[in-house]
Amino acid sequence: MSTNKTGREVQRYFGQHARDYATSERHARGADLARLLDALALAPGQVALDIATGPGHVAFQLAERGLAVTAADLTPEMLAVARAAESERPLPHPITWIEADAARLPCEAGQFDTVVCRRAAHHFPNIPQVLRETRRVLKPGGRLGISDMTAPAASIDALNDIERLRDHSHVAAQTVDQWVGHLLSADCRLQWLEVTVEPMTREEWLAPVTPDSPEGQAAFQRMNGWPDAVRHALFPHDTFLKYRVLLVAVRR
């Protein structure tokens, strides 16, 4: 598989931290997971694709709800961890695991009732292309569910700056308005949207990167220099505010 520079950074970072994400309670049981899947109105027997599955947290939840699941990820180590986890939990149907780029899915047109992408879109170099590819593999009337980091528009550049210092594979978190524009351009109808805010410490935000690592020190130093307006939006009272946008769109 041909992989661009950003893809190689993704494979390097997530290959290094695959087990950390597999054991992360915030990723395995974060409130956005159940909230997003409930909003998709899933039904047993539907066919679903989990894009950028990582260690498989979304894929397992989809399978446990009775869906036939294909789970794709760019990082072999993530898929290995996910396959090992599947062997230890009973599921109604086995999951199909594929190594694939979200912008070039080896799937047939109109194959899926549902496509889900959770906490990964900020790593995509070309979100419009990913959405076009997502639309291609969805059935007409099929639903797309996305959960990803965001921030108020006036603070999005500051967020992206520190995220790139923490994780070199980070490309860009999108504002809510940007997401709406992307979906309209992909000929998808927005059905539901919600923004959540999760308070956490700087160290919790940084994980699995450690505070004493070069990445952690660089991110903390940059945060210490934030202007008051950005600090008020993202880090008031020494508490980091993790904004997430959750949305469901329908393929026209």
pLDDT over threshold 60, residue 251: yes
Per-residue burial over 45-54, b if 16 or more Cβ lie within 10 Å, else e, is ebebbbbbbb
**Cα first-last separation, the chain:** 31
Structure tokens at 106: 């080896």
| Predicted pLDDT at 140 | 97
In the chain, the amino acid numbered 19 is R
Asked if the model's pLDDT at residue 3 lies above 80, the reply is no
Q: What is the pLDDT at residue 36?
A: 98
* pLDDT band with cut points at 50, 70 and 90 for residue 5: low
- Alpha-carbon gap, residue 79 to 93, rounded angstroms: 17
Is residue 190 classed as helix, strand or coil in its secondary structure?
A: strand
CA–CA separation, 132 and 177 (whole Å)? 18
**Rounded Cα distance, 108 and 103, in Å:** 14
Is the pLDDT assigned to residue 73 strictly greater than 90?
yes
Residue 109 makes CB contacts below 8 A (sequence gap 6+) with: 136, 137
Q: What percent of the chain has pLDDT over 70?
A: 98
Alpha-carbon span 73 to 13, nearest angstrom: 13
Phi, psi of 50 (to 5 degrees): -105, 110
| CATH number for the domain running over 5-199+241-251 | 3.40.50.150
pLDDT exceeds 60 at position 2: no
For residue 104, pLDDT beyond 70: yes
Tell me the pLDDT of the chain averaged across its residues.
Answer: 96
Q: Which of 21-30, 44-53, 92-101 has the lowest mean pLDDT?
A: 21-30
Lowest mean pLDDT among 20-29, 60-69, 199-208: 20-29
Instruction: Identify which of 59, 128, 142 has the alpha carbon closest to the alpha carbon of residue 95.
Output: 59
16-20, 86-90, 151-155: range with highest mean pLDDT: 151-155
- Asked if pLDDT for residue 152 goes beyond 90, the answer is yes
